[in-house]
Structures are given as C-alpha cells and as structure tokens.
Amino acid sequence: PAVNRISQFFPQALANTAWALATRLVQNLPLLEAISAQSIAIMGAFGNQNMSNMLWALAALQYFDDPLLDAIAAQAIPKMTAFPVQELVNTSWAIARLNFQHRPLIAALSEAALARMSSYRARDMANTAWSFARLKSVDLNLLEALAQK
C-alpha cells in the first residue's frame, strides 16, 4: 500500500496523491496522516504549486490538520509574491473553506493579491472576495481594489 511507501514520496507526489484522494472524495485517514507527516518533514522542498494543490486537497476533503497547515503557512508566506494568480486564488479559497485563521498568511495573500490584481479575471475576483469574506478579513485596500476592477 502507498501508506507504507510515503516516505519515498517527493512534494509533487504527495500533493498529487492528496489531490487524487480529494477529487474522488476518499478520506483514507491513515494515508492522509502519512501524507501530512511526510509533507511536514520535507516542507522546505515544496514549491508554490505543491503547496497550493495540497491546500486545495485538504479543503476539498475538509481535512483540517493544524501542523500541516502551519508548516504550509510558514513555507508559503515568504514565497507568496511569487505565486501565480491561480495559486493565490486557490490558496485563498482553501484556507477559507477550512476556516484556517492564520493572520500572517491571510495578510500575505492579501498583499500578493493586491500586487497582482491587474491580472485577476472576474472569477478570480469573485473567489477572492468570497474567501476573504468567509475568513472575516477586512482589508479595505483589497476590497477597494476588487471593487475598482
């Protein structure tokens, strides 16, 4: 079984496995716990897309794992300005769906969204507005930018 080999998985394989479980709504707790433990162990190797995809999978499964979420936040915050729009939107949606109230991550997402607002499509803006509303984040600059676009 995959759970016995998870220590051999690299970031993309971990994120892809979590994504595959989420697309089929499979909540295999032993496998999710193993994915989480291995992801935390190698979080420094995770790229932007790996983090965004992992968060999306956790949110789709409604699998709230504080240590993994904290590890992703710590890795993502300094890299947030390099996230493409789709990864910003997905990350915002995922943490909102999980109601992950990590203020430094939310602030970094808001700042990165403001910097990229000119590249946001209508759907990106709607999803970002929903995400920040669900997180009860009142960033007037972001709200104004969304309203102006």
pLDDT tens-digit readout, 85-110: 999 999 999 999 999 999 999 999 99
In three-state secondary structure terms, 126 is: helix
pTM of the model: 0.92
Structure tokens at 112: 């990165």
Joined tokens for residue 55: 């968060």
Angle formed at CA 105 by CA 103 and CA 109, multiple of 5 degrees? 115
Quick: pLDDT tens for 48-63.
999 999 999 999 999 9
